[in-house]
Amino acid sequence: MSEFEFDKEEFKKNVVNAVKSRYRKTIDEADKQQVFQAVAYTVKDYIIDRWIATHKEFEKQDAKTVYYMSMEFLMGRALGNNMINLTCYKGVKEALDELGFDLNAIEDEEPDAALGNGGLGRLAACFLDSLSSLGYPAYGCGIRYRYGMFAQKIVDGYQKEIPDDWLRDGNPFEIKRPEYAVTVKFGGYVRSYTDADYHEHYVQEAYQSVRAVPYDLPVVGYNNNVVNTLRIWDAEPIQQFNLDEFDKGDYQKAVEQENLAKNICEVLYPCDDHYAGKELRLKQQYFFVSASVQSAVAKYKKNHDDIRKLHEKVCFQLNDTHPTVTVAELMRILMDEKGLSWDEAWGVTTKCCAYTNHTIMAEALEKWPIDLFQKLLPRIYQIIEEINRRFVNEVKRMYPDNQEKIAKMAILYDGQVKMANLAIVAGYSVNGVAALHTEILEKQELKDFYEMMPEKFNNKTNGITQRRFLLHGNPLLADWVTDKIGDGWITDLPKISGLVKYADDEKSRKEFMQIKRENKVRLAKYIKEHNDVEVNPDSIFDVQVKRLHEYKRQLLNILHVMYLYNKIKANPDMDFTPRTFIFGAKAAAGYRRAKLTIKLINSVSDVINNDKSINGKLKVVFIENYRVSNAEIIFAAADVSEQISTASKEASGTGNMKFMLNGAMTLGTMDGANVEIVKEVGEENAVIFGLSADEVIEYELNGGYNPLDIYNSDEEIRRVLNQLVDGTYSPADHELFRDLYNALLYDGVADRYFILKDFRSYAEAQEKIEAKYRDKDGWAKSVMLNTARSGKFSSDRTIEEYVRDIWHLEKVKVEL
Ligand code: 26W
């Protein structure tokens, strides 16, 4: 592999020139944002040649391409990652030093590209990094939201959502490609006619349309000259509207079309795991799907005659059900535009589309009301009707007189379009994202489908990119690892197991823990700056960062903090290792209980942090605006990784892997990928607690359990619960947290997420953590082994499995 030869002097010259020509300033007059822009444009120049060369190579090899269809790409910042993957990070750092700038401060000028909510969006971003780094041809296809995930402000302990104006200063890495714009049609009706050759034709009439304009972002592979593309679509009004219609007084329609275009890409829906049935969201889905499929087909047609062989060169991976209209849109294009018969089109479509499921939470399932769907996408609906008709016939053949099967598996049922069912029926592959998750899909959630078409089902345990979450996010540890075992781990994470032997070496353990401490100091500084709270870097950093959701049980964590606080207050001299509990989480804007949990965490934090009598033994910090860029700092500094979802609810988790890689110990339930993490690292190097997935499912089938039994019999738990409603944490309004109290004790299904049921087991697990931490050598060994045994959890491994089992791509070599 040809190392990129970075010429520092030339780089400095280019940056100085870029500042001059962009801002009419000398470098010493430029502000940090201007230097950021200049550096980014200079780095982009290195990328461009590789980008062009990559696409030349793809064409030359006529390579099969995967289109990763996703409503979300949570990319975070690009500059640092691009420099890392070009292998010029350190060179640029030196160059900027010499120009009098600190690269970290310059990187901080870049807004995160937050075009995603959480796990699913970040997974898409890690996958793109791996696809490029492994040299596979790929497009990410998504939406260029004008406003991404909201920025979170904490005001008086409450979450406030601030619009994320991420494009305000322009995006130096994007390229607008108006020459590839396409039209997307909504509404109207379908006119059908039969031609002289008795062929049926379907034409959409009286529709509204928008112009979909692609913006391309480079996805730089690690040290291999490969640059793939993240293509995100913007909507523009169709300029030349039909004068005839205008004359007919159709001014109204013209204005409506303009508004449609303005609204579609305006904002990312900030809902994680909750389906709301909003028409605009369906518009977003069809908008980017139609544009992407059109452009994929057009690209194929440029170099191939026979559209019947599309599946040999093209594969669409559906990132959850959100882009599932892909299957109907492809059918439409193949039949209505390319003239294929139903059977031919179905043959191609069912060899092109594959579906990934990311959740079993019932409230996340997308089911569109038929009337809404039909009105917005009349032709697409017709096609889905026909897919459904044929599929239901098949079910009837296989299971005669079995209405229940149809109720569960039909695509159209109860006045709804069930997107998961459509994706499973039309896709050739259905995968879950961790072993346990896939097992639950097969045995419970999608049991009927699994019985009917077992060959489609497979598992692809998620992964993360070590290039962002170790090499960039934790430079001290990255350098140390490379020092010990060489840099092979950067492209082959299992090599990191070379560290195993150092876990028995005292000097190495010291070094490892010294790095952890420096990372804790770095985070402590961040916390001081942002929260104005002093935290002790020698305390245990116990971290839970992820979206706020009841099933993730941040409430269990904070109730336990309240419990610990009671203990310390009752016994101020007790032997206690100081702890810092760190939270970071955004709540969906309309999710009241989640927002109240944030308020509770902040209220508890206020009380505890200001209580001088406990001598700083306990601190609670809520980090505002948790996002990819500050996540990198947080993972690096964690001692304990809180992965405490109700077993069976977390499909995989990926934060758990980022913590492990950075040398933190998992404190978790046997849920999602935790199961596989424990298997890799060994039970003695993690702390597991709580109900198993089977036990949870069993309780659920029986309508839950009675938390009042626990409340009545366990005095300490009762005390903590009472403190929710006695003003301990809300002196001005004792009722403030009543809803949380009720959810745990009196809701229809009380304590739906088994918080009290798991509480004792969790408290014991926390005691184990403390005991382990006290044994300094033992702890150091354990957390080193966490890093050393994280090899499985690289997204490179995940992508290789997708390629092997689903996509069947070939690697491309790019020479400059
Ligand atoms: C329709 C609203 C909606 C929005 C987002 C429904 C569902 C979602 C996503 C499926 C939520 C999500 O991000 N799921 C997470 O996906 C990760 C990547 O596979 C997993 O690691 C997480 O466990 C899962 O919660």
Mean pLDDT value of segment 530-545: 97
Predicted local confidence at residue 202, as pLDDT: 96
pLDDT digits (tens, 9 = 90+) for 271-289: 877 888 899 999 999 999 9
Ligand 1 atom nearest the C-alpha of 123 is 18
Predicted local confidence at residue 251, as pLDDT: 78
Helices 279-303 & 251-264, crossing angle to 10 degrees?
Answer: 90
Q: Domain range spanning residue 44? A: 1-61+77-111
Q: Give a yes or no: residue 421 inside a domain.
A: no
386: its two tokens: 């026909």
Mean pLDDT for the chain?
A: 96
312 C-alpha vs ligand 1 centroid, how far in Å?
Answer: 30
pLDDT digits (tens, 9 = 90+) for 71-88: 999 999 999 999 999 999
Mean pLDDT value of segment 297-310: 98
Q: Give a yes or no: residue 604 inside a domain.
A: yes
Check if the beta carbon of residue 234 is closer than 8 Å to that of residue 265. yes
> Would you call 669 a catalytic residue per the annotation?
no
- Proportion of the chain above pLDDT 90, given as a percent: 95
Q: Please, how many CA atoms are within 13 Å of residue 602, restricted to the half-sphere of its CB?
A: 18
Using the predicted structure, report yes or no on whether residue 437 has a pLDDT greater than 60: yes
Using the predicted structure, report yes or no on whether residue 797 has a pLDDT greater than 50: yes
How far apart CA 742 and CA 725 sit, in angstroms, is: 10
pLDDT digits (tens, 9 = 90+) for 732-770: 999 999 999 999 999 999 999 999 999 999 999 999 999
Check if the beta carbon of residue 464 is closer than 8 Å to that of residue 793. yes
Q: Give a yes or no: residue 611 inside a domain.
A: yes
Using the predicted structure, report yes or no on whether residue 144 has a pLDDT greater than 50: yes
How far apart CA 84 and CA 466 sit, in angstroms, is: 11
DSSP state of 549: -
Mean pLDDT value of segment 176-190: 97
Cβ neighbour number for residue 776 with a 10 Å cutoff: 12
441 C-alpha vs ligand 1 centroid, how far in Å?
Answer: 15
pLDDT digits (tens, 9 = 90+) for 687-714: 999 999 999 999 999 999 999 999 999 9
pLDDT digits (tens, 9 = 90+) for 325-369: 999 999 999 999 999 999 999 999 999 999 999 999 888 889 999
Q: Which among 612, 599, 600, 615 is positioned nearest to 562, based on CA atoms? A: 600
**For the chain, what is the domain count?**
2
Q: Which helix (H) or strand (E) holds 778?
A: helix 776-788
pLDDT category at 502 given cuts 50, 70, 90 is: very high
From 546, 579, 599, 792, the catalytic residue? 546
Full DSSP string of 706-745: -HHHHHHH-HHHHHHHHHTTSSSS-TT-TTTTHHHHHHHH
Predicted local confidence at residue 255, as pLDDT: 84
Predicted local confidence at residue 242, as pLDDT: 57
> Would you call 646 a catalytic residue per the annotation?
no
Using the predicted structure, report yes or no on whether residue 4 has a pLDDT greater than 80: no
Q: Give a yes or no: residue 385 inside a domain.
A: no
From 87, 349, 654, 798, the catalytic residue? 654
**Three-class SS state of 253:** helix
Task: Provide the greatest CA pair distance for the chain.
Answer: 94
> Would you call 658 a catalytic residue per the annotation?
yes
How far apart CA 46 and CA 170 sit, in angstroms, is: 19
pLDDT category at 5 given cuts 50, 70, 90 is: confident
Which of 272, 416, 431 to mutate to test ligand 1, by most ligand atoms within 8 A of the CB atom? 272
Which of 73, 120, 366, 550 to mutate to test ligand 1, by most ligand atoms within 8 A of the CB atom? 120
Predicted local confidence at residue 276, as pLDDT: 84
Predicted local confidence at residue 254, as pLDDT: 80
Full DSSP string of 285-345: HHHHHHHHHHHHHHHHHHH-S-GGGGGGTEEEEEESSTTTHHHHHHHHIIIIIT---HHHH
Predicted local confidence at residue 1, as pLDDT: 44
Predicted local confidence at residue 249, as pLDDT: 61
pLDDT digits (tens, 9 = 90+) for 612-634: 999 999 999 999 999 999 999 99
Q: Give a yes or no: residue 34 inside a domain.
A: yes
> Would you call 358 a catalytic residue per the annotation?
yes
Q: Give a yes or no: residue 799 inside a domain.
A: no
Ligand 1 atom nearest the C-alpha of 359 is 10
Q: Residues lining ligand 1, CB < 6 A?
A: 117-120, 123, 271-275, 320, 358-359, 364, 366, 433, 462, 650-654, 672
pLDDT digits (tens, 9 = 90+) for 36-65: 999 999 999 999 999 999 999 999 999 999
Nearest CA to ligand 1 atom 8: 273
231-263: b (≥16 Cβ within 10 Å) or e: bbbbbbbbeebeeeeeeeebeebbeebbebbee
CATH number at residue 634: 3.40.50.2000
Ligand 1 atom nearest the C-alpha of 653 is 21
**Three-class SS state of 750:** coil
pLDDT digits (tens, 9 = 90+) for 553-607: 999 999 999 999 999 999 988 999 999 999 999 999 999 999 999 999 999 999 9
| CA distances in angstroms from 301 to 55, 155, 179, 313, 677, listed in the order given | 16, 54, 16, 11, 45
pLDDT category at 665 given cuts 50, 70, 90 is: very high
pLDDT digits (tens, 9 = 90+) for 381-415: 999 999 999 999 999 999 999 999 999 999 999 99
Q: Give a yes or no: residue 587 inside a domain.
A: yes
Predicted local confidence at residue 3, as pLDDT: 60
How far apart CA 426 and CA 196 sit, in angstroms, is: 32
From 552, 595, 619, 757, the catalytic residue? 552
pTM: 0.98
**Phi/psi at 486 (5° precision):** 85, 175
From 547, 560, 579, 792, the catalytic residue? 547
- Proportion of the chain above pLDDT 70, given as a percent: 98
> Would you call 552 a catalytic residue per the annotation?
yes
> Would you call 547 a catalytic residue per the annotation?
yes
